[in-house]
Amino acid sequence: MHAGRWLSLTLVLGCLTARADIPNPDIRHVDPQLAFAGVQNHPDHVFLVYVQDKGYWGPNVKFEGRVIPIPGPRPFAPGFRNTIGKVAVLAVPKAAYERLTEEQRQALSPESPGVLSCGIDTPPTIVRTLEPDPSPAPYGVAITDGKLIVEPVKPGDRDSSAVPPFRSRRGWWALAVAASVAWLGITVSRRLIRGEC
């Protein structure tokens, strides 16, 4: 009797462990895009995205901190890994940044002396398989009284020049397919009405 219980428990735990290793076909990973309007107004600073992330989830896998330069106000993909622990925007005086070595630049963090920082919400890196890629997340950036302010831009305040109307090539592809299907439906229905089919 006890052997049967132990066997059942072993099978259940084995199935749960195996299931954790099998990828879920209903979800997929995406590389989120961010847009930081306002960085162009502060040419005396270099802006960076600081992220603590890791390639895959695991209790023994540590988060790694790294920085990604913000190229400008246009949307860009920072290249986040699948699991994100923390995201912040850093502003470093340009003169001080240029004196740093590449190794020192990569070691920058919100705690580094002389660095202004502001935390932001972690963007989603997982969506359902049939959902389109998320829109670029727009933020407004300003430095006021020696303090870095980074705030999400509300959809009504979104700058149309900073965020494209379609999120990705997938959005344009979906639009083209929908237009083709609509055109085909109209053509076939006209022929049916005229009795040509």
For the chain, the structural domain boundaries read: 25-184
pTM: 0.64
User: Distance (Å, rounded) from C-alpha 170 to C-alpha 195?
Assistant: 37
Residue-level pLDDT, tens digit, the chain, 197 residues: 565 555 555 555 555 444 444 566 777 877 889 999 999 999 999 999 999 887 766 677 787 889 999 999 999 999 888 788 899 999 999 999 999 999 999 999 999 999 999 999 988 877 787 888 788 999 999 999 999 999 999 876 544 444 444 444 455 556 666 667 666 667 666 776 776 55
Contact 69, 48 (CB under 8 A): yes
Count the alpha carbons within 13 Å of 192 in the hemisphere toward its beta carbon. 6
Mark out the alpha helices in the chain (DSSP H runs). Answer: 2-21, 94-98, 102-106, 169-194
Contact 127, 134 (CB under 8 A): yes
